[in-house]
Every structure is written in structure tokens, then in C-alpha cells.
Structure 1
């Protein structure tokens, strides 16, 4: 650590003299800050007080979120200066995109705003962003101001100098309320905001907004740590932290007034221990970890009085994999008597019971992977649930239950030395499963009623990769089960089966390679890449018509009641798309701008946990045409 700090100080010392040790320094009593060196020189050469305003900070090392690097930085009323000594002057000083930053704070995605039809007479037309810049009076206005100010670089023409200083226009002119509370005609640029003040003298009819001051005063929201979004009829249950009660159980009907804390299980600001939810019987069952002293199962109907303990399982129970089944939930737990086994609960103490001690005694029937944990792959079928479990005598097999002890039974009779990975229902009578043994993996058709099994295809296991499974993403759509197969050389191919070995084949993907699969409204969607590794977006596919492109964008898509939802992750935000029906085009709806690192958590096609600059991660609602925030739970 000491060596790293020494190196850091040496680097800083090489840069700082250019800004802070110069002989001349100019201080401003209006704000109490000074500037000097290259910062002062750039300020004077490119517009001074009129363009940049007074300094609002010292010259200091600041982390840039966009580039994820540190730079010597100084904030001014109308700009942010960043020193880049690796570039030659005048580009050793770069201006922050404060005009765009302020738009993004308001969740305005400028790149997706409507474009103007084209050039207007007497105006400057910017094809890149689709906006005109015009004057508001004879010879006066935004166009004249833009043309008469620019970066001091004699190598550029007048247009280039202005473009370097202000950037492209991002919006059309519109009436907005500025920082002083005045309603003025405003147009946003990448690095500035132009304001029209018709009652001022000609020299001051166009003023630059105080974008530096405003960006410095922005308040970035606290995240409410939303998790476990679970929809029950029209009520969403989830966990959230409002900054007062810790992370507790909440509910929402999609309105601010209808979003509230259900119960404070652990009084105070600490986490209550809730970590998994499942929809059951007009409410939710959820697991609670009492700081590893006791694992508990609870039920809530959405009222404080109706939120109650079902059963305590002890300190090593580790309740997991809650999944709705009928009027209750299947789950896995170690009750210290039977090991990790499948249980069922309808939300009452008497209705909570062990389904079967599949691996008798203290041994677990949960299937373990190579990383010290276990997984469960459920497949709803025939009014019940198929799942994997292991027994020391019969190995890893497929089981089925309808939630009763009497109807919990073994289905498959595969070789006991093998292992199971994925499970998918082909129809109400047949399951498609992958099972590995030695160096190969088989794809099997299992008849639910009789356990009859047929090997459909086999593939060599990829021993050189972290995930050696050569078959992944079993996906049912249109009476077929599709999957991706990976070969030793990394090639990924799409396969389909109708449950017959002779009909387990590779569909024609027209030279593309499959990357991801999704089933929605009984239709298969495939995310493709070209043979050169270039993203080709999403396509829908069926065995008779082949491929049809849905969107060229590499979205994360999910099913909705009427069609599809799509999410595009961009620098500093998410773009939301939706379609009006199956296989119809995905249309851009709106954006939420924030420090986005992953796609939003979701319960269905209506509720989402989305981060934004202004509010942090909060609950948002899809009303069919746009997104709106439900409530700022953690103000």
C-alpha cells in the first residue's frame, strides 16, 4: 500500500505544477476560489467569465465516472475543466458534458429524442443529432452566439471551434425554468445550455446556463436495495430499505399511496433477514435468516397482523429454492433430522411438511455441483413440479410432486453413476432432461407417467472450460424443446427436438450463430451473432418458417402479456422497449439514466427495480407505453 501511495504522489507531483505552481494566479472574491496555471490560461483564451463563469472549487484530483479515471479537475459556474497532459494544447483541457449530464439527471435520453424533419431556412442544421440552431431575433439568438464563440484553435474553422467548445445541440428550444426560477427559452448542448433573455440588452440576450453550478448541486439518490420482487394477483411483494427500518417486507399496487411497509420484523435500521419469497394462497411465503441462529419460514397476506411465523428450522437449515406450487410452495431445507430435502407449505404450520426423505437420514437429496453448493431445476408439468434429487442407492434422478406426500414419486431410472443438469417440459406427459456420465452428456426424453426414457442425442463434455456442459438453455416453444450445444473448439449450435431421436436436429440459422434463447407466448426467440462475431440482434424462429429478424439491437428481452419487453444497457442508463403483440416490432418507450451495471430485477412485465441518478434504485412501473417511478422509498 505504501509503494502504491508513493507512486500515486509522484504521478500527481508531475501533473500539479502545470496548474498550481505557476507564478500567476487569479482569485475571485465572488466565490472565494482561485484558478491558475493551465486552467487560468484556458479560461482566458476561450471565453473567460462570459462563457465559463467563476470557479466553484479548487483544482483537485477527481474521479471521472465515464472514463473511470482520475484527472486534475476544476468546476466553474458554466463548465467543468479536466486536465489531460497526454494531449497537445488546446486539447489538454477537456470540458465535461455538463449539458448532457443535467438532461440525464432528469432521465432525458437526448439520443432518443425526436429528430426535426430537416434544415430550416436561416438556421444551422446538425445532421448528427437532428436539431436546428436558430436566432430568436434579427441577427440575435442561439445561432449567432454559437457562431461567435469557440475554442481558441487556429487549425479549426469557425464551425469547428464552436463545436469543440459547446458540442452538438441535444434538444429543440423549449420554455424551461432555470436555476434562478425564470421561465426562459432554452436549448441544451453537450457542454452548455443556451438561454434567451429578450428583456436584456443585446449583449446579454443570450446567456449560458449555470450548468457547472447546477451539476455541483445535484443530489444523487439513495438506493432502497429492492429485492425479491414477487407478484401476487395485482399486488407486488418485495424487500426494501427505507433508511429507517432496514430491509423489510413491502407491498405495492403500482401507486405511490399504495406502496407501504408491511411489517418491521427486526425493529431498527438493521436487515430483517428476509432473503427469498414465493407467491402462495393470496400472499407470500418467505425465508428469514436470523443471523445464522435460526432459519425461519413466514407467511404474509400484505397486512401487519397477517404476517406471521410458520415454522422455525434451526441454525443450519438454510431454506432455499422457494417455488410456487398450487396453493403453496415447494422448498428445500435441512431440519437437522433429514438433511436437505424437499418440503411443502401452504402458509400454515399444519400445512408445512416434508414431502419425502429421498436420501434417508441426515444425508442430503439436494444435487451438488463442483463448487460446494447445490441447485434445483424445476419444471412445472401436469399440475405439479418435476425436479432433480439424489439418493445414495439410485443416484441422481427426476422426481415429481403435486405438493402432497402421497404423490411425491421418482420418475426416471437413469444410470445412477450419472448426474443431472437441466430439465424442461416438452408437453404435459414428457420431460426433456440432460444427464452426464463420464465424458458424455445425453439429452433424454422421459415419460412422466411410466418413467420410460429415450436417448435423443449425446455430446462430448468440454473438459477445458469452467462450465463443461456441452448442452445448455433447454427452452420449450411451439411443441419443441430447443437448446444450445457447445463443441470442443467453442462453436455453438442450435438444436431442436420433438421428443424423437430422428427429429433431434440442427435448424438452419442462415450462417448465424446462436447466443441466447427465450420462449415467450409459445414462440422461440434467438439472439444471434454473425460468423465474424458481430451482434445480429434477436430473431424469432419456428421449424416451418425459419428465421425472421425481430430487432438488430442486442437487447435483454423478456415475455409480457401482449408481446415482449426489451432492455438496452447504455453508458449511464437503460432504454426500455416493448411490442404491442407477438412478433411485432419492439418500439422505444423511454429511458432511465443512472449508474447501471446490470439489467433490472423484475417480477413480471409491470414492476421493475431500476437505478436512476436522481433517486437511486427504486420501484418503477410499466403502464404499457412508458416507465414511471412508483415511490422514492429511500429519500
Structure 2
């Protein structure tokens, strides 16, 4: 087959020029949200755990795996798809497979297994069919290469089950209670047999054992012939070929028992509390060499620390720590653990409160480790963990009467017991403390203010404790209100625990930081001598004048104009207006006495003062003159203010005597300087509801005159202004159609020109003009569909030609928005959930779409979206939201020289062809010809990347030009032809 390689090359280049991609970097600010890792379980390749993605609920709580590195930490599988949790639990590693329970949202909680891959994470068996609740298998335990657990199939009740990891090999081992639930619990292995407690429906809860077969599963001994013998919650402690527990024979109450695994060898050790009383319901203790240390109560001394060697005579109280009849052992928070040949536990000696004690089994060796919570207040410890590699006892505890439990470590000495980190244990419900020591470190879940509850690691020292993996950081900072100063971008963003505050970024991750713990609502690009000025508030003062040089120490309140917690400036999302003239800041402020009046500041407290009380006595009515719209004409400052006669044009030289009124005009809304004139928008009729018309002034009363009126009795609604080439562009309302129209003016009658209306430039039926912006050689504006309130079209004008350059489909809900000028390139967003940025400039007749590649984070998909754009020098910042980071800050740079100059396909299909180029393809020359009566003014030749390689003016004003292409290399080129009617035509040229 013969291939047309020229055509393939064209297609490849064309695709490149119409689908550009730029790199962007995520500048994460708010890392807070709880991954809440728990159930840490060691495996051959690292460890498994469960975690949640938090409030955004993309996955819920699911199974994760880590190989011990941050990059190797990821979710294994979204078992319950979407935002619901599969709630994996009871994780256990057996035969290089992880077993656990989970719910896929359809079949309820069942038995699962995983080899660490998504495809290898499977449900083993639907044990209880037609069930969708969380009452699934429990008490998982490995024994002789198989898994044993408690489960119900909905027919036989809660019984003992076993599994070899296959569906057929998963079955009920024995129906212990044929008429109900036997509820096996407390499973443990001793001398190659499985032991547990169960209720056969006849003998009550008794001790059972199994060799893993049905026939080999039987009650060990009927300890209490008339009732239940054991409570759930016993620690079965194994020591010297016996295991120990608390049981009730119906005669002596609940006391210490032991068993060698035979009926005859299952016997009481000692009746610690004489008579049919109970010493304790369940055994809580630890093994220390050849004795067990446990909590006992003889009925005289209260709950104290005891020991036993397995004989009656060798079972005794070690020490009466609380020498009253009260308990020393904190029965509500009883914990025992062996560490370095001593047992550690919690006790209260009636002096220090509940604290950590330790014992070597002797009275003299039973001592307080440290008074962590000073005075008689007690510590609260949920769990002890022994790091045998680093020889440390780890725990979270309260201290200094704080309710927060911080991470501590102990080497068993007073001085070696100290807080090693400010991270906290979770202070809510549903998260179980979890520690796991592997690879010379202990991994644990801990909470700090910046990251929330996440995965940490420690070697038991202060310096060796750090965040390991921030599993969930979906709580975004929602950056907004961008302002530029000194090469930095300042903005408003939220971070836990500070809330919405002032941030700045220099474009680097380390240079993106909180400036100060202050409240801001709006920012504007007001910079004097390297300081950004803005309105802000703190915990002491209301909204006042602040400045920042980009450092925390240099971010300070300039002056408390309205003392105390009152505000002198606008707040709560109202925009405070500032104007800089000759390095002096002009604004209005309320000092609490005079109302909102004219103020100035040079950035110092002494240089910040009221210039003049233009509207006396207005402060008592919370009113003022509200000076605004400051501008300069011939080195004189002009502004608008409201005195007792209404709104007026004023001038000031910065002094009270030099602040004078020029002329009263009703309801002044705009004041701009263009072409050495003041352009004013004011209501002419004096009625307050008449049209707003254009006025022009030279700054004097006599020189202030009506320039143009738009209607007799309807508000012309002149608003949204910008300037280009010393002309004012503005939106008004047509007195005829009552639709918005677009004008420009140079301050003269003949220079006030209509540029756009529905007659001269047909557009959508019910429209209004929105979002005007000067960028490069054009003023851009969007046209909004009033019915859907979405901006459907993008237009531009240079004052001579007004043209539509982009439009949305009528049935789309998306809107053209967030127009931003970046190095003379207009950028905007268009889609409902934008993943890309659109660009158009002086050299483009149609916008280009630019895709974003996030180099250090997730790329945008689905309902992820870019929210706001902000240009700062050569940097483009934008806020964007995704399900991983929430709404966060990103930075990129756009190099327009590397972008194609036109989307050729779009321009050719959406405009009438006015220029032709032939022959095409060509190798010697081409003819560029205008197909109508308009002459060719000039043309540009660009390569496939958009780089201009030639430009020629048509001085002879011909409609046809001949151009030599023999010197060009084979490839794709673009010709940009400008006609005498102002239209620009883009054409593709193939040189072969």
C-alpha cells in the first residue's frame, strides 16, 4: 500500500497546533483533612492499613498499602465504589495474603483477601447472602495455615468458621449452638490448638478448644455447671505451658484460673476475694518472665497490682499503691504491657493522680515512672506500644491538664520519658489508635494542625519523628482575590487552623506561605514603595489600613483609625477603594466620629490622617461623603464626593483648604481621565431616576459640559469602563431597544462613536454586555444571554473593527468567564468544568485551547475545574479544584512563541473565505489572492509552531501577490493575510 506521507505529516502538525499543553505546578496550601489511618498490619512487602479521603468522599475508607516509602503508599482498591466506605477491618497477614472483612456496598460485610494489587483484591465468599449490613465476619485468627473466625450465614447463627482462601474452602467448622448463636470470641492459639469461648445454648459461655476439625472441636470444661463461666474481654495470658484467665465456677465468683489444655488441668489458681464475690470479671495483665502481673481485688485494698507464678501460694498482691480501700488500678483504663523486663501499667496513688507505673514483680521495684500530668490530675492513655528495635515505649497521653493527647516515648527512666512530638491522637470517635514497628521505625496515625490525622513515623526521638505520608489533603485553601506586588502575588486563602488569611507566593512551593494571621476580604493592586496596601482585621482591631512588604514582620497595621474592634473601612466582601497618586494613598475611612471622609496615607501612622470632613456631622448617622473615583488631570487630583448638596466633582492638593468643590452633578458614577479631559457619568435631569449621560470637564466649573445624552426618561446605565489608546470604552443602554450597546469616546462629540449594538453586530436575542477588559491592542468583552445568565460570546474591538472571536453552543450551560490579561494575551475559561485555558492575542483571529499538565499532582478530569486566573509578571497563577487537593493554587508560564498562531480548522469553518492561496501544496511559488474587492494590506508567514519567519507590506495595494516558497523547507506553514477592510484571514500552506 502506498502512503501519503505528506498528508500524515499535515495531520500530525495540525493536531499539535490545535491542542497545546503546558506544564503547571501545584502550590498546595491547605494540607488539612483526615486520612485517619488505622489497622496497620505488617506484610512481607511493607504494611497495609485503612484510610479515608475525608469530606470530599471520593473513595471513603478503603484498603491501602505502603512499601515503607511515600511514593509506594497508595490505595489498593476502591472496594465500595464512589464515596461510600468498604470499611476494611480485622486485617491479618497469612501465607503472603492479606485477609480482612469489607463491604462492596451490595453484599454486605464479607471475607476478602488481597495480594496488594487491585485485580488481586477479591471477596472470598458471600457467607451471608441477601444481606447488606456491616455485621460480617469477626475475630479473625491464623492457625495452622488457615483462617478461623466468627460468622453467620443467616441460617445457623454466629458460629466458628474456617477458610483456606478459596470459596469452597470457606465453611462453618461446627454448629456449636444449633438453636441460636454460640458467638465464639477471644480466639487464641496454645500448644497447637485453637481456644475460644462459646455458648452451646445449654451450658452457657464456657471455654472451648479445636484442632481445626469438626470432630476435634469441643468444650474444654464446663467450669460453671449452672451458668456462664467467662466474660468477653479476657486476656488469655500464656506462661509456662499454661494459659491464665478469669472465670466463675458458681461458688467462688470470678477468680484467677489456669489451664494446660486438658479438662483436669483447668483449675482455679486462687480465690483472691473470698466467698462468692469476684476479684475481677476479666483478666487484664502481662507476662513477666515466670510470673503474670495482673489487676486483682481482694475486697480490702481495692484494685491493685498482683502477681502469680501459677500456684495459690505464689499469687499475691505486689504493692498496695493506694493505701486506702480505693482502687489504685484505673479499672476504667486498665493497661498492662511488658517492656525491658518490667511491666508498665496505670495506677493512682491518691497523690499524683492516675499515672504510669512500672514493676519488676517486687514491692520495692513497683514505682511511679513519672508524674506526667502534674498534680492530682490523671493521664489518659488508650494504648501502649513497644518498639523493640529502638527500645522505646510509645503512647499518646494527656499532660499539663490538657485534654489533648500528645505523642510520648519512654526508655523506662524518669528523664527518658518525654514528649517527642506535638502530634495528637484523634479526638473523635471511629478511629482506633494504631502502631506498627517495621524497618527500624514505628508507623502510627497522628494529628497536627497542618495535615490533620495522617500517617507518621518515629524512632522514639524528637528529631526522628516526622510526617510519613499525607494520605488525605482534600480540604482546599480556596485561593482568591489576587493582587500583584514586588514580583509576588498576594491572595486570600484558607488553611487550618487559621481560617481565611493573607498569603503570598513567589511561584515556588517554599515561597508560598501565610503572611499573617489576619482577616481580609478583598485585595487590590495598590503598591507604594514596595508595600501592598489593603483593608484587614485581626482579633483586636476591626477592618483597618494594613500594608505588607511580603514578610510576616513587615505585614502590619498602618493605623487604627477607628480605635478598638470597630472598623474604619468596608468589610465583609465589600471592596474598599484605594488610589495611589504621587506615592500617596487616597481613600475614605470612618474614624467613628466624622463618618466616611477623605483620608490620605504615606504608609506611616503619623502620615495617615483625614484631609477634610466634606460632609460635617454625618458621622452620627453612620454616613459620610464617601470620596471615590480619584484621578489626575494636569497634575491635579480630582474625585467625586457627596456633601450636603449631593454628589459633586471635587479637587484636592492634600490639604483641607485645598480641597474644594468644582460643580454639583446628580448621582455621579464614573470619573475617568482620557485625552487630557475628565469624562464624567452623571444623571442629567436632576430627578434621580433619569438617564446617566456623558459629561466632559477640563477641571473647572465653566469647563464642565454635557457631552452626550442617551435618553430622556430611562436610565442609560452607563457602566463598565476601560481605556485604550487614550479613549474611554464604556457600556450603555440603547434608548430604543433598551439593550446594552458599546461606545468609545475621546471626550469630543465627534469622537463619541457607537461600536456595537444588535443592529450593526447581530448577536443572541436577549443579551447584555459583560466583562470588558483591555488587553494588547484590543478591548475584549463578553455577551451574556440574559435568560441563562451565561456569557455565550466573546468579542473584541480596536476602535475601528469590532468582531466576534468565540462563541458557546446555545444549548451549553457553560459560560465565557474570568477574562485575564497576561503579557498582552487574553486568557479566559469557558467550559462548565474547565480543564484548560483559552488564549487569544493580537496575532490570533481565533482562540487557542491550552491543556494543563500538573507536574507534581493530579491532572484535571471529570468535575475537576479551573476556577480563577491571575497574572503576575511572567507567571500565571490559577485556582483549581480536584478531588485530591480540593481548591488550591497552581502556577504556570505560557510561552506564546511555542504555540500555533491559529486554530486553522476553526477559523476556516467559521468565516467566509476571503483569501485563497494556490497552488497548495507548492514548491516554487504561490499566489495569494483576495477573492473580493478588498486589497491585501500585508501578510505574515509563520512556521507550524506559530513563529513568524517573514512579513511583507503590499505598498502597491494589489489584490494579488506572488510569493517565492522555493527557499522554504518541506513542511506546514500558516499565512496570515490582512485585507483593507480590516479582516484577517488565516490559511494553511503546504510546501513539498
- Shorter-chain TM-score: what band? 0.5 to 0.7
Q: CA deviation at 1:594?
A: 8.0
Gaps of at least 5 residues in structure 2 are 1-98, 109-117, 134-469, 571-575, 809-814, 853-859, 897-992
**Residue 929 (structure 2) aligns with:** none
For the 8 Å contact 1:275–1:289, the answer to whether it is kept is no
**Residue 166 (structure 2) aligns with:** none
For the 8 Å contact 1:495–1:506, the answer to whether it is kept is yes
**Residue 35 (structure 1) aligns with:** 106
> Residues 149-188 of structure 1 correspond to what in structure 2 (within 5 A)?
none
For the 8 Å contact 1:519–1:559, the answer to whether it is kept is no
After superposition, the Cα gap between the structure-2 partners of 1:539 and 1:227, relative to the gap in structure 1 and judged at 3 Å, is closer
After superposition, the Cα gap between the structure-2 partners of 1:606 and 1:345, relative to the gap in structure 1 and judged at 3 Å, is farther
In the alignment, the residues of structure 1 paired with residue 630 and residue 132 of structure 2 have an alpha-carbon distance, to the nearest angstrom, of 58
1:257-289 Cα shifts (integer Å, max 9, x gaps) = 21222334xxxxxxx333344433212223233
In the alignment, the residues of structure 1 paired with residue 795 and residue 698 of structure 2 have an alpha-carbon distance, to the nearest angstrom, of 32
**Residue 68 (structure 1) aligns with:** none
In the alignment, the residues of structure 2 paired with residue 383 and residue 615 of structure 1 have an alpha-carbon distance, to the nearest angstrom, of 50
For the 8 Å contact 1:366–1:389, the answer to whether it is kept is no
In the alignment, the residues of structure 1 paired with residue 785 and residue 496 of structure 2 have an alpha-carbon distance, to the nearest angstrom, of 48
1:213-241 Cα shifts (integer Å, max 9, x gaps) = xxxx9957212143442211202223333
For the 8 Å contact 2:867–2:881, the answer to whether it is kept is no
1:267-322 Cα shifts (integer Å, max 9, x gaps) = xxxxx333344433212223233468644333322223323332112244331424
For 1:453, which of 701, 704, 722 is the aligned residue? 704
1:478 matched to 2:746: no
**Residue 123 (structure 1) aligns with:** none
In the alignment, the residues of structure 1 paired with residue 864 and residue 681 of structure 2 have an alpha-carbon distance, to the nearest angstrom, of 36
**Residue 612 (structure 1) aligns with:** 882
In the alignment, the residues of structure 2 paired with residue 457 and residue 408 of structure 1 have an alpha-carbon distance, to the nearest angstrom, of 31
**Residue 774 (structure 2) aligns with:** 519
After superposition, the Cα gap between the structure-2 partners of 1:542 and 1:246, relative to the gap in structure 1 and judged at 3 Å, is closer
1:358-408 Cα shifts (integer Å, max 9, x gaps) = 21244499999xxxx979445565567643210003x20133457x33796
For the 8 Å contact 1:235–1:252, the answer to whether it is kept is yes
Please give the TM-score of this superposition, normalised by the length of structure 2. Answer: 0.36
1:392-448 Cα shifts (integer Å, max 9, x gaps) = 03x20133457x337964564134xx2112233223433232335324224233324
**Residue 334 (structure 1) aligns with:** 590
**Residue 275 (structure 1) aligns with:** 521
**Residue 678 (structure 2) aligns with:** 430
**Residue 892 (structure 2) aligns with:** 622
For 1:443, which of 673, 689, 693 is the aligned residue? 693
**Residue 644 (structure 2) aligns with:** 392
**Residue 136 (structure 2) aligns with:** none
In the alignment, the residues of structure 2 paired with residue 338 and residue 490 of structure 1 have an alpha-carbon distance, to the nearest angstrom, of 41
Q: CA RMSD in A?
A: 4.4
User: SS in structure 1 opposite 2:521?
Assistant: strand
Higher strand share: 2
**Residue 493 (structure 2) aligns with:** 240
Gaps of at least 5 residues in structure 1 are 1-27, 38-48, 61-216, 265-271, 627-635
After superposition, the Cα gap between the structure-2 partners of 1:375 and 1:337, relative to the gap in structure 1 and judged at 3 Å, is closer
Q: CA deviation at 1:344?
A: 1.7
1:94-148 Cα shifts (integer Å, max 9, x gaps) = xxxxxxxxxxxxxxxxxxxxxxxxxxxxxxxxxxxxxxxxxxxxxxxxxxxxxxx
In the alignment, the residues of structure 1 paired with residue 746 and residue 599 of structure 2 have an alpha-carbon distance, to the nearest angstrom, of 33
**Residue 476 (structure 2) aligns with:** 223
After superposition, the Cα gap between the structure-2 partners of 1:288 and 1:576, relative to the gap in structure 1 and judged at 3 Å, is same
For 1:590, which of 848, 851, 866 is the aligned residue? 851
After superposition, the Cα gap between the structure-2 partners of 1:303 and 1:528, relative to the gap in structure 1 and judged at 3 Å, is closer
> Residues 533-552 of structure 1 correspond to what in structure 2 (within 5 A)?
537-544=793-800, 546-552=801-807
**Residue 112 (structure 1) aligns with:** none
In the alignment, the residues of structure 1 paired with residue 739 and residue 700 of structure 2 have an alpha-carbon distance, to the nearest angstrom, of 36
For 1:259, which of 493, 512, 531 is the aligned residue? 512
Q: CA deviation at 1:334?
A: 0.6
Q: CA deviation at 1:616?
A: 1.8
User: SS in structure 2 opposite 1:606?
Assistant: strand
In the alignment, the residues of structure 2 paired with residue 582 and residue 384 of structure 1 have an alpha-carbon distance, to the nearest angstrom, of 38
**Residue 602 (structure 1) aligns with:** 870
In the alignment, the residues of structure 2 paired with residue 220 and residue 571 of structure 1 have an alpha-carbon distance, to the nearest angstrom, of 25
User: SS in structure 2 opposite 1:620?
Assistant: strand
After superposition, the Cα gap between the structure-2 partners of 1:399 and 1:620, relative to the gap in structure 1 and judged at 3 Å, is farther
**Residue 189 (structure 1) aligns with:** none
**Residue 572 (structure 1) aligns with:** 833
Higher helix share: 1
After superposition, the Cα gap between the structure-2 partners of 1:620 and 1:531, relative to the gap in structure 1 and judged at 3 Å, is closer
**Residue 58 (structure 2) aligns with:** none
Q: CA deviation at 1:340?
A: 0.4
For the 8 Å contact 1:470–1:487, the answer to whether it is kept is no
In the alignment, the residues of structure 2 paired with residue 58 and residue 253 of structure 1 have an alpha-carbon distance, to the nearest angstrom, of 56
For the 8 Å contact 1:540–1:583, the answer to whether it is kept is no
In the alignment, the residues of structure 2 paired with residue 541 and residue 231 of structure 1 have an alpha-carbon distance, to the nearest angstrom, of 27
Q: CA deviation at 1:585?
A: 4.2
User: SS in structure 2 opposite 1:255?
Assistant: coil
1:351 matched to 2:422: no
User: SS in structure 2 opposite 1:238?
Assistant: strand
For the 8 Å contact 1:230–1:279, the answer to whether it is kept is no
Please give the TM-score of this superposition, normalised by the length of structure 1. Answer: 0.55
Aligned length: 411
1:304 matched to 2:591: no
**Residue 319 (structure 1) aligns with:** 569
1:39-65 Cα shifts (integer Å, max 9, x gaps) = xxxxxxxxxx99x987999979xxxxx
After superposition, the Cα gap between the structure-2 partners of 1:400 and 1:256, relative to the gap in structure 1 and judged at 3 Å, is farther
Structure with the greater alpha carbon radius of gyration: 2
User: SS in structure 1 opposite 2:510?
Assistant: coil
